[in-house]
Structure 1
Amino acid sequence: MSDSKVDENISVTSDADVKNALEQLAVLQTDGTQDVNVWTGILSVIKSVQRSSLGSGKSYLTSGIFTEDGMLLLTDHIGRRLVLVDQSYTFLEEFKLDGKPTDITRGNEPYEYFVALREDGILRCTFRGGQFTALGRLLSPTGAWGIGFLGNTRVVGTEKFICMLGSDGQDIRSMSKSGADTYIALLKAENLLYHKDGNTIVGRQSNGVEIFRYMVNSLVYPVGLDLDQDGNLYVCGRNSKNVHLVSKNGLKDRVLLSKLVSINTPYAVVVNPFRQEIVVTSSQEAIAFEVYTFCDNK
């Protein structure tokens, strides 16, 4: 077990940091395999991970992100910790937090991450070479659940609003919405953001203008959101017990998983940027998460 420590003097920005991070990404992303078309391929489960194997009796994995070296950091809301698994999705370590984490996102600097802690603000931290370091907290709107960054603009999802904040924490704009467990997906290259509004998925430009609203009967209580390298949006339907795929403009969609193998109620979906795999977590079930890979539909 590793407790987080605070180091206000750590430096996370340098030419060497940027070069090393990019080199690691390039190596991991190049494995010589041909990508499967996500719109025609099928998903096959390759691993189911039991909650009991993650170093804690209770866990509720609400989000996750892949690190620069291909490991996966997951937020455990009930366990008040971050869970680290390796590239084969085997438990490595936990990092205890002072608060209940709901979401984790990458910052603008190499090895920089931000963790939403609901009523306890947003934790800024670094993770590099297996070392987790807490750097301090940012103020956030009450009930912050999902977080992300578009440049220096902080985007926060709460039960009633999508809030866009400047680097000084001041409100730039807020957009009303409904439904709890509000996660955010950001397509930074095109300044687009996605969020839920009830049972609807909304796509917006960074200025708040709506691009589309995606609503189908087969998607009920959407929660986890994530994007692949082509901007396709993956959506976890908690009450509909499935996973949807939506194009970045909302004009194309499919049900990727009509049901999961060992999970009854899915919660978060995390896209692996290095391999054509997705991780789907459960809502506090015996199976903490499952890993699926894309295969040709032959």
Structure 2
Amino acid sequence: MQAQIISAPKSFKLCDRIDITNGYVTGLTTDSNDNLVITSRDRLLSYSENGKFINECKLGGDAWGVSFHSMSGNVVVALQENEPISDVVHCIIYDGNQTFTFNSSALEMPNGIATDRSGNVYVVGRDSNNIHRLSTNGKKSEVVLGPADGIKDPCAICFSRDYRKLFLSNEDGASVYVYECRY
């Protein structure tokens, strides 16, 4: 059976460019107001949808993943292998204040981040070859996918818009695994 695309853009037209001063963009997401949220090295930057700078906050290390947490309105950021902070996931408000942090000996090199419709946070453990699910406040966690599920060198993660599928880049970006979400 061949996949059928119901509706897709026929072409794309560049309409704007946002230059990031001293930038190296490592993560992108949008918030509930369609503001663009960018991680760039050790900074979290926000811009309006028309490219106007809104805010910047300094992070405790280089960020490699970012996701909008729709339940709380906060942004979740993964910081990895930065001294003295190592392999830590931070949930922060736009002004840089933390709402929670998470780390675990079973989570190595946190990379991609996604949130589900209930506000749970999913974190890719790139070197630990697993996916962690954190509760909305970061106090509870469990490994939901791992090497036994074929996870090896995962990187990016996201849910479909209706949250029925989970997409995971695997094998160092050589493939994307598609999981049906069973509720």
Instruction: Normalising by structure 2, report the TM-score.
Output: 0.79
Select 2:140's aligned residue among 252, 263, 281.
252
Q: Partners in 1 of 2:69 and 2:147 — Cα distance?
A: 27
What's the counterpart of residue 79 of structure 2? 197
What's the counterpart of residue 293 of structure 1? 180
Q: Partners in 2 of 1:134 and 1:177 — Cα distance?
A: 37
What's the counterpart of residue 279 of structure 1? 167
Unaligned stretches of 5+ residues in structure 2: 81-86
Aligned-residue RMSD, C-alpha: 2.7
- Alignment of 1:131 with 2:19, yes or no, is no
- Contact 1:266 1:281 (C-alpha < 8 Å) held by counterparts: yes
- In the alignment, residue 216 of structure 1 is paired with which amino acid? S
Select 1:230's aligned residue among 102, 118, 129.
118
Give 1:189 deviation, angstroms.
Answer: 5.2
- Contact 1:148 1:186 (C-alpha < 8 Å) held by counterparts: yes
- In the alignment, residue 221 of structure 1 is paired with which amino acid? M
| Percent of aligned pairs sharing the same letter | 18
Give 1:254 deviation, angstroms.
Answer: 0.7
Q: 1:170 to 1:179 in 2, by over 3 A?
A: closer
Q: 1:187 to 1:132 in 2, by over 3 A?
A: farther
- In the alignment, residue 255 of structure 1 is paired with which amino acid? V
- In the alignment, residue 141 of structure 2 is paired with which amino acid? D
What's the counterpart of residue 242 of structure 1? 130
Deviations 1:137-165 (A, max 9, x none): 22234111211233264321122222234
Structure possessing the higher radius of gyration over alpha carbons: 1
What's the counterpart of residue 178 of structure 1? 61
- Contact 2:57 2:94 (C-alpha < 8 Å) held by counterparts: no
What's the counterpart of residue 144 of structure 1? 25
- Contact 2:18 2:51 (C-alpha < 8 Å) held by counterparts: no
Number of aligned pairs? 171
Unaligned stretches of 5+ residues in structure 1: 1-87, 93-127
Instruction: Normalising by structure 1, report the TM-score.
Output: 0.51
